[in-house]
Amino acid sequence: MILSDLLGSEVRDAQGQKVGLVADARFALNGPVRGSGSVAGARMIGLVVGRHGASRRMGYERRDVNRPWPLAQILGRRDRGSFLVLWPDIESVRPGQVVLRNGFTRHDASL
Amino acid sequence: MKRLLGVALGILTAIGGFVDIGDLVTNSVVGARFGMGLAWVVVIGIIGICAFAHMSGRVAAVSGRATFEIIRERLGARAAGANLLASFFINLMTVTAEVGGIALTLQLASSITYLAWIPVAAFFVWLVVWRVKFKILENVTGLLGLCLVAFAVALFQLGPNWLDLAGQALNPTVPGNESPWTYWYYAVALFGAAMTPYEVFFFSSGAIEEKWGPKDVAQSRINVLVGFPLGGLLSLAIAACAAVVLMPQGITVSSLSQVVLPVAEAGGKIGLIVVLVGILAATFGAALETTLSSGYTLAQYFGWTWGKRHRPAEAARFHVSMIATLLVGIAILATGVDPVMVTELSVVFSAVALPLTYVPILVVANDPQYMGDAVNGRFLNGLGTIYLVIILAAAIAAIPLMVITGAGA
Amino acid sequence: MNENGKAPAGKVLDAILHLLDRQIKDTEGLVVSVVDDLEISLPDDGRTLDADAEAPMLTNLLMGPTLATRLFGGQPPPERMMRIPWSDVARVGTVLELRNRAEGLPVRWVEHWLRDHVIARIPGGRHDPE
């Protein structure tokens, strides 16, 4: 699957209610190393779901970048309310729509 | 001793390289119509370009990343793509204006028509970009550009009323025959001429080309803090010459010959020759910088191999895009459009484009992922934020003012 | 974090934050391209996933003509996108470093075409700038 088909997709819960948009996809480098000198395989651990979808906030998203103060306030505000959904909580995926399982957990999305 | 010479060379090159055709024309136009009443804009512009040129050089040196690579990463492909289209278009306008400026200067110096000089000028710009080493290109054009001091010399020779000039600068008023809208239009134009967006692209890419280390960053700080303000004084001298000679006679500036008229009056034939050498060097240098900037911005966005440090065979797309840019510039000028008018428009559009380049630089200069510990200090951030407001104000006001005043008519 | 509330093993990367639109350099520092998109090993047909299905892996870096589609919408066809497998990546920093040289990669074809048909025809194209 092409990742840009996934980013920005609608995220719904098991009852069909819209929960947000896919803001980002999170990977961890703990997969098998496939060649000499290669970095470890990147395994998807979950999706970051937010209200605004997959756009850039110039680096102010979820990190310790908080200067200059005025820009950080204006641009960082867009991230409030985003959360991380782990892979086991995802029920189905197709371009434009992700459905979560019943009783999914909202984890903290900050890095 | 050698170090001292190196430092001096850096400063002198910065002074001589500060002025381009945009500064020349805009300062002269403004001086003839408003006297020194817009001198404060030049001062604000100089402080701004000092802060941002140095910031972009530091960001490039510390992070090893050039401006448009950073813009693409921070803004994402779509916003950065729109940024690229706008920046490239305005850069193209500036390249056209600079090449036109070279041709105009050569026309003044010889008696051969300007149209014939256009392809010659563009060819030599290309040739230097193709073959000449970065450092040599900078040093030669920068040092020869010092001949522009002829404007300052001419000003002294003209024996103006200094108190009067100072009064105009410190107590700006709009002359009776001008409207306040036009005053502010030219304020924006002067600001755009001083804070040229291509400077950021060129400076940061140059820092990577020359593999700047901490010593180079320190040298650059001296060049910028000493060289740019002195170069700015040249801008003010150009305006003052126009204020002293052209304004009393009601002569408005619409051609290069009017820009140099005060120097010819005060310094005679020798003065004229010196100033033409200076203008030729400054415009040629700026044409090189803007042409390279077009290559840098495209290559850094698309991920092509870029840089003069590579053989052209190793950076084919980079070089082909610059050749194409120059060809388009020639085509535009060949339509017979007035290059002075292109220059005047290019500085106003530069003011519109300023936020596109400066906001990402200010943001990345604060990002530990790129800068490690060398993020901006409080002072630079404070200055940067104030200028952000000024830049946004100028960018928003530019087009409406242009429409209201009919581009300063 | 994973199901136990602990941080996962290995470096954590977000696609937009750390991977997309990053430069790709080869082992000698030459810029190869920019990451235009990514491919993961997940079928996109919307099937219901098993409760214990394996998490998808990042399979390829994708490069292609995305400027027009990003500005105006749509997607370039997958056949036009060039791929570099994730296993060719040696290091992830502000730039992605590959473990091999750029010369063998298909992404270089425009560069090589221009080099052979335009640059080589102009005198001095193969010389170092003096």
pLDDT score for B272: 94
Residue C128 placed within a domain: no
The C-alpha atoms of residue B372 and residue B369 are separated, in whole angstroms, by: 6
CATH of the domain at C94: 2.30.30.240
Residue C5 placed within a domain: no
User: Which segments within chain A are labelled E, that is strand?
Assistant: 10-12, 18-28, 43-50, 83-86, 90-94, 97-100, 107-108
| Check whether domain B2-405 has CATH 3.40.50.970, yes or no | no
Tens-digit pLDDT string for chain B (409 aa): 777 888 888 888 888 888 999 999 999 999 999 999 999 999 999 999 999 888 988 899 998 888 888 888 888 888 888 899 999 999 999 999 999 999 999 999 998 999 999 999 999 999 999 988 878 888 898 899 999 999 999 999 998 889 888 888 888 888 888 889 999 999 999 999 999 888 888 888 988 888 888 888 888 888 889 989 998 999 999 999 999 999 999 888 989 999 999 999 998 999 999 999 999 999 999 999 999 999 999 999 998 989 888 888 888 899 999 999 999 999 999 999 999 999 999 999 999 989 988 888 888 888 888 888 888 888 888 999 999 999 999 999 999 999 999 887 7
Q: Can you give the pTM of this predicted structure? A: 0.89
Question: In the structure encoding, which two tokens stand for residue A65, read together?
Answer: 């970048």
Q: How confident is the model at residue C46 (pLDDT cuts 50, 70, 90)?
A: confident
Orientation of helix B228-241 relative to helix B256-302, angle to 10°: 150
Question: In the structure encoding, which two tokens stand for residue B392, read together?
Answer: 């946004």
> Is the Cβ pair B75, A70 closer than 8 Å?
no
- A25 bridge partner residues: A47
ipTM score assigned to the predicted complex: 0.82
Residue B269 and residue B184 in contact, taking contact as beta carbons nearer than 8 Å: no
pLDDT tens column, C65-92: 777 776 676 677 777 788 899 999 999 9
Residue C21 placed within a domain: yes
pLDDT score for A55: 66
Q: How confident is the model at residue A79 (pLDDT cuts 50, 70, 90)?
A: low
Q: How many domains does chain A have?
A: 1
Residue A21 and residue A11 in contact, taking contact as beta carbons nearer than 8 Å: yes
Helix (H, G, I), strand (E, B) or coil at B253: coil
- A22 bridge partner residues: A49
Compute the mean pLDDT over every residue in chain C, rounded to the nearest whole number: 81
> Which amino acid, one-letter code, is at B348?
V
> Which amino acid, one-letter code, is at C84?
I
Omega of the bond prior to A68 within 30 degrees of 0, cis? yes
Residue C24 placed within a domain: yes
Q: How many domains does chain C have?
A: 1
pLDDT score for A58: 60
Residue A48, chain C, CB below 8 Å: the answer is: yes
pLDDT over threshold 60, residue C6: no
pLDDT score for B191: 95
Residue C84 and residue C107 in contact, taking contact as beta carbons nearer than 8 Å: yes
> Is the Cβ pair A58, B369 closer than 8 Å?
no
Q: Which residues contact A47 (CB under 8 A, 6 or more apart)?
A: A6, A11, A22, A23, A24, A25, A26, A84, A85, A90, A98
Orientation of helix B228-241 relative to helix B150-157, angle to 10°: 40
> Is the Cβ pair C46, A93 closer than 8 Å?
yes
User: Which of these ranges, A16-20, A57-61, B53-57, has the smallest mean pLDDT?
Assistant: A57-61
Compute the mean pLDDT over every residue in chain A, rounded to the nearest whole number: 84
Question: In the structure encoding, which two tokens stand for residue B265, read together?
Answer: 């009056």
Q: CA-nearest residue of chain C to A37?
A: C90
Residue C7 placed within a domain: no
Q: How confident is the model at residue A61 (pLDDT cuts 50, 70, 90)?
A: low
Q: Hey, of C17, C111, C113, which one would you mutate to test binding to chain B, going by the most B CBs within 10 A of its CB?
A: C111
**Which residue ranges make up each domain of chain B?**
2-405
Q: CA-nearest residue of chain A to B378?
A: A68
CA-to-CA dists, residue A94 to A3, A49, C81, angstroms: 11, 16, 20
> Is the Cβ pair C58, A41 closer than 8 Å?
yes
Give the structural domain span for A89. 3-108
Residue B59 CB neighbour total at 10 angstroms: 31
CATH of the domain at A86: 2.30.30.240
Q: CA-nearest residue of chain A to C62?
A: A2
> Is the Cβ pair B385, A64 closer than 8 Å?
no
Chain C positions in Cβ-Cβ contact with residue A44 (cut-off 8 Å): 40, 42, 55-58
The DSSP string of B177-205 is: TS-HHHHHHHHHHHHHHHT-HHHHHHHHH
Chain B positions in Cβ-Cβ contact with residue A67 (cut-off 8 Å): 366, 375-376, 381
Q: Of the candidates A101, A93, A47, which has an alpha carbon nearest to the alpha carbon of residue C45?
A: A93
CA atoms within 13 A on the CB side of B308: 29
pLDDT score for C71: 67
Residue B365 and residue B58 in contact, taking contact as beta carbons nearer than 8 Å: yes
Give the structural domain span for C19. 15-42+53-121
> Is the Cβ pair A68, B376 closer than 8 Å?
yes
CA-to-CA dists, residue B165 to B44, B169, B238, B274, angstroms: 18, 6, 13, 25
Q: Of the candidates B392, B387, B406, B327, which has an alpha carbon nearest to the alpha carbon of residue B43?
A: B387
Residue carrying structure tokens 């388009």 = B328
Chain C positions in Cβ-Cβ contact with residue B65 (cut-off 8 Å): 23, 94-95
> Is the Cβ pair C125, B301 closer than 8 Å?
no
pLDDT over threshold 80, residue C130: no
The stretches of B223-255 forming alpha helices (DSSP H) are 228-241
Residue C10 placed within a domain: no
pLDDT tens column, B177-192: 888 999 999 999 999 9
The C-alpha atoms of residue B381 and residue A94 are separated, in whole angstroms, by: 44
pLDDT tens column, B88-103: 999 999 999 999 999 9
